[in-house]
Amino acid sequence: MSTFDIKVDATAVDVRVTEDEVQMTLADGRQVSAPLEWFPRLRNASPDQRANWRLIGRGIGVHWPQIDEDISVKSLLAA
């Protein structure tokens, strides 16, 4: 397999929020993360609020409805 055969799909399929960071698993298998400090609303949210997320735009981002927070995959990849 050459590098030209690799399919890049930068859409989120799963999200996890730890005590220190936001972690996203992408459709192509990559995992990206960012410090929780970058997202004050998410940092200050309860564990239940952090666990209540949904994918938006077919995985181009994640939305936490209880705290009105949105994070795009593109923003994490650019950081």
Instruction: Check residue 64 and give its pLDDT.
Output: 98
Give the count of domains, the chain: 1
Which amino acid is present at 23? Q
CATH number at residue 12: 3.30.2020.40
CB atoms within 10 A of CB 16: 14
Residue 35: give the domain boundaries.
3-78
Q: Which long-range contacts (CB under 8 A, 24 or more apart) does 20-29 make?
A: 22/71, 22/76, 24/62, 24/73, 24/76, 26/73, 27/59
Residue of 74, 22, 73, 30 whose CA lies nearest to 50: 22
Q: Tell me, what's the pLDDT at 79?
A: 73
15-57 pLDDT tens trace: 999 999 999 999 999 999 999 999 999 999 999 999 999 999 9
